[in-house]
Amino acid sequence: MEKATTFIVVIVGWIFSLCLHEFSHAVVAYYGGDTSVKDKGYLTFNPLKYTHPVYSIVLPVVFLLLGGIGLPGGAVYIETWRLRSKRWESAVSLAGPASNLVLAILLTTILNFLPISSSGIWPGVAFLALMQLSALVLNLIPVPPFDGYRALAPYLNRQLRFNIDQYSNIIMMVVFVVLWYVPFVNDFFWLVIFQISNWLHIPVLLAIQGLNLFQFWR
């Protein structure tokens, strides 16, 4: 029963966080000048309104199931030419990771100020908070197609940006292969996440318990 509870809490919470991530991109774009996001239905929490349900929802959930990594969803389609400035374009890109950080802080506040235990929903909540940080760190990697790169891209030479963008999918695959199969990179990635967790006072042991309960098939 505890495993089922944790699984449901994490899956539902993760889908909500993916919607919040995409919504955050869209709402900043809206105020930055791209009002087309409203017509596209992005200013909602409906997963089916985003660019591609598979890339935005299904794949991130699959990655969570396989490795406990917070894969960002496919970004909403922003008509960047409508945005008022390069700063707004960068702000749109950073809005998604910012939402993950805010959600991590909110969950951590709940964990630190409410009477919690090592049973019930709390291991799942702690694991979900940790996953927000993994999504934050992963998203801020400054290579395409991650948000960290998209925040810098407006300031790159147009030809250089075009050349880099052509290999976006390949670069993303390389990043995940390196994260999965190069131990010191994987260790550094999680070291950064756990360091931020310590700063925010996320109960890491409870989060690890949540991971173990979530991945009940292992």
Nearest Cα residue to 211 out of 28, 68, 56, 32: 68
C-alpha distance across the termini of the chain, in Å = 16
81: which DSSP letter?
G
- Other residues' Cβ atoms within 10 Å of the Cβ of residue 172: 16
Three-state DSSP class for residue 146: coil
Which residue type sits at 59? L
Provide the H-helix boundaries in the chain. 2-32, 36-39, 53, 59-67, 86-113, 122-139, 147-152, 158-165, 168-181, 183-200, 204-214
Q: Of 2, 22, 79, 89, which one is the catalytic site residue?
A: 22
Reply yes or no on whether 22 is catalytic: yes
How far does Cα 173 stand from its chain's mean position?
A: 17
Q: Hey, which residues are catalytic here?
A: 22
